[in-house]
Structure 1
Amino acid sequence: MTDKPLAVSCGDPAGIGPELLFRAYNRREPLGLPPFAVICDPDFLKARANRMGVGVSMKCIESWQEVPATFSEALPVLPLKARFDDCPGEPLTAHANGIIESIDRGVAASLSDEAAGLVTLPIAKAPLYDAGFAFPGHTEYLGSLSEKATATPVQPVMMLAGPSLRAVPVTIHIPLSAVPEALTDELLEQTIRITERDLRERFGIQCPRIAVSGLNPHAGESGKMGSEEMDLVAPVLDRLREEGFDIAGPLPADTMFHERARAGYDVAVCMYHDQALIAAKALAFDETVNVTLGLPFIRTSPDHGTAFDIAGKGVAREDSFIAALKMAAEMASGSSR
């Protein structure tokens, strides 16, 4: 494990994030969780804990250096300038500034090496859009913040990583009807390159085996069900194979995810969001972690959303958040597999 703490951004306060945070912290010792601090409104956290009847000690801190000494006795909280209302299940546009502030400060701490990485609790996009948020989702916003901080181009890549499957969508938060136009040879090649590099550098896989899906049913059936596989996907894979990449594909997506097929690769690269995420979440919803590759810092997140319908009811499971904390710490120490 890393000797630096993890930063946790608060997510949408109307969602299940706070209760995941409380439960994970209260299980820190038996689970051996790495030290972390949450960037949030402390008064809100106390109100939510009281509402739910959760006993959790909290302490406001001023710097990341205080986290290790504080963590064993109380949940370290770096206070936001923004304030949140305690209204589980009722997302508010007024909370957008605080949600974004928490992300911004978590990224800044990770880039400055004060934190070992960033674990983000779930956000809902609609309230942020209503407040003028100009990015399709979390992943794209993290890429933009990284570009501004480093003054270099950054292409974030989403990967869902579970016990038996790592899956990467090439296109992410766009309508299905927009996928064929968005899917370019440059985007596909860069996604595969970033995936291969980060599997080596952050997951310790020396020669990643990459399986790449087609876009169309049956991978186009030799052009009878679409030509993208022949015209776009196959030429990119051929170029990368010539460089020494271990790549299979383009493969029919409907036969890529059974147990025997998964044994033959380390990551599945898919053409669009649901093609990758449905398989990952179906196989291990409570244990899968959302990892953003291609960033100059480590970022993980639970694989689920805000779950407004059950927020504040005490029934949300913290498994994926715990897995995200552990994976971030393992990636920071270079021991993730």
Structure 2
Amino acid sequence: MKNFNVSNNNKNTLAISLGDPAGIGTEIILKALASDNLNKNINPLLIGCKNHIYQTYSNLINHGICNISDPTNLDIIDIPLEKKIIPGIVDENSGSASFKWLFNATNIVLEGKANALVTAPISKIAWHKAGHKFAGQTELLGKLSNKKTSMLFTAVSPNNGWRFNTLLATTHIPINKVNNNLTKELIKFKLDTLLNFCRKFKERPLIQIAGLNPHAGEEGKIGMEEQNLIIPTIDEWKLDNPNVHINGPIPPDTCWIKAADAWNYDSKENNAPDGILALYHDQGLIPVKLIAFDQAVNTTLGLPFVRTSPDHGTALDIADKFIARDKSMIAAINNAWILSQ
């Protein structure tokens, strides 16, 4: 393990927390860091258990997987595991470890010792077993930085370079609480957040917003949320943003069709949305993962630093089988680099 010198120029340093040690986090990190598709100026700083990293490396080599990063060449902040972890089995020990690693990684970035944060997947069940009652990593990051956060998924099409963005209005809440959480103020805030992100790549982006009900309510015949809340809110937002193209509310079952076409075509579609606002978690995540599962990146907006993560979970069913794909982790690292420069 190399000694990490906090006095170094940390503009190129990306802090990477290992995620749940019972999952695939360390495996995909070691695989991703060996990729030729990463920017060569990136200096990864791993936060987790050194022995766990070395053991994962040894296991991968023993299974004939050689295109991985050698941990002897990596900067590592060693926070040892307190008890033995069984791959594929999450418990309070794995939850405690992943929580500590993320907590320390976040503070490293907040202290200016790294320029951005990349997080491997954690288990919310394991966190709760360890006594950490957060809905997810996004919520912990918001608390540690005292910021109002938003969850956005971004991906770049390998077919044509088009950037696909979906922001969630509500995140980790039960479906029966979505309606009560949707307010005019929240929708406007999320539209502002989505617009600001899309403007990093296009001056006048096209924004779409999904309806809440089937057929976007069909003029009140299938629910009144569109008529009473969503349409009036969009109209008010348009007055404050007269130069922005916004469509919606669009029936949820067709809202992502143009995005799917733009993703798959060899040439870019001029009428494809640059950003889509989904009103609840699965409404946005189902099309995102169907369209761009290996390339999509979970990006937390609103923090005082850039944070990205793969769009998948801990994959406990394939932990210790050494078959996990690293494409989303590569995308997460590259996007953290791009967005933090």
What's the TM-score bracket when you normalise by the shorter of the two chains? Answer: 0.7 to 0.9
What is the identity, as a one-letter code, of the residue corresponding to 2:155? G
Q: Distance between the aligned counterparts of 1:290 and 1:100, measured in 2?
A: 18
Query: Could you tell which deviates more after superposition, 109-118 or 78-87?
Result: 78-87
Contact 2:155 2:296 in 1 (8 A): yes
Whether the aligned pair in 1 keeps the contact of 2:256 and 2:287 (CA below 8 Å) is yes
2:232 counterpart residue number? 235
Q: Is the 1:41–1:83 Cα contact (8 Å) retained in structure 2? A: no
1:160 to 2:153 alignment: yes
Aligned to 1:118: 117
Q: 1:113 to 1:204 in 2, by over 3 A?
A: farther
Q: CA contact under 8 A between 2:258 and 2:273: conserved in structure 1?
A: no
Unaligned runs of 5+ in 1: 60-73, 148-153
Task: Tell me the CA shift for residue 103 of structure 1.
Answer: 1.1
Paired residue for 1:57?
70
Does 2:176 align with 1:183?
Answer: no
1:40 is displaced (CA, Å) by: 0.7
Q: Give the alignment's Cα RMSD to 1 decimal.
A: 1.9
Query: Any conservation in 2 of the 1:118–1:298 contact (CA below 8 Å)?
Result: yes
Q: Distance in 1 between matches of 2:139 and 2:99?
A: 13
How far off is 1:209 after superposition? 2.1
Measured against aligned partners, the alpha-carbon deviations of 1:17-63 in whole angstroms (never above 9, x if no partner) come to: 11101111222x5643522111011011112222332564224xxxx
- Who is 1:5 aligned against? 13
Alignment check: 8 A CA contact 1:210 1:248 kept = yes
Please list the CA deviations of residues 180-220 of structure 1 after superposition, one character each: whole Å capped at 9, or x if unmatched: 111111211111112222333xx333233210111001110
Q: C-alpha distance in 2, partners of 1:124/1:264? A: 34
Give the 5 Å matches for 1:192-211: 192-200=191-199, 203-211=200-208
**Please, which of 313, 326, 331 is the counterpart of residue 321 of structure 2?**
313
Q: Could you tell which deviates more after superposition, 219-228 or 123-132? A: 123-132
Report the AA paired with residue 271 of structure 1. Answer: L
Question: 1:75 is matched by which residue type in structure 2?
Answer: L
Determine helix, strand or coil for the equivalent of 2:33.
helix
Counterpart CA distance in 1 for 2:198 and 2:138 is 18
Over the matched positions of the two proteins, sequence identity in percent amounts to: 36
Return the offset for 1:241: 0.5
What residue identity is the alignment partner of 2:104?
Answer: R
Whole-Å separation in 2 of the counterparts to 1:86 and 1:95:
7
Show the counterpart of 1:275. 283
The AA in structure 2 aligned to 1:181 is N
Aligned 8 A contact 1:286 1:319 in 2: yes
Matched, 1:258 2:257: yes
Alignment-derived partner of residue 246 in structure 1: 245
Contact persistence 2:38–2:334 (CA under 8 A): no
Per-residue CA deviations over 1:250-273 (Å, capped at 9, x if unaligned) read 111111111377643211001111
Contact 2:215 2:252 in 1 (8 A): yes
Shift of 1:86: 4.3
CA distance in 2, matches of 1:30, 1:180: 42
Q: What secondary structure, in the 3-state scheme, does the structure 1 residue paired with 2:156 have?
A: coil
Tell me the TM-score normalised to structure 1 length. 0.86
d(CA) in 2 for partners of 1:80, 1:100: 11
Aligned residue pairs total 309
Q: Which runs of 5+ in 2 are unaligned?
A: 1-9, 158-163, 263-270
When residues 269 and 84 of structure 1 are mapped into structure 2, their CA distance, relative to the original with a 3 A threshold, is: farther
Contact 2:95-2:123 within 8 A present in 1 as well? no
In structure 1, the partner of 2:265 is none
- Residue in 2 that maps onto 1:67: none
TM-score (norm 2): 0.85
Equivalent pair of 1:8/1:106 in contact (CA under 8 Å): yes
Give the aligned residue type for 2:254. Answer: T
Aligned equivalents of 1:110, 1:238: Cα separation in 2: 39
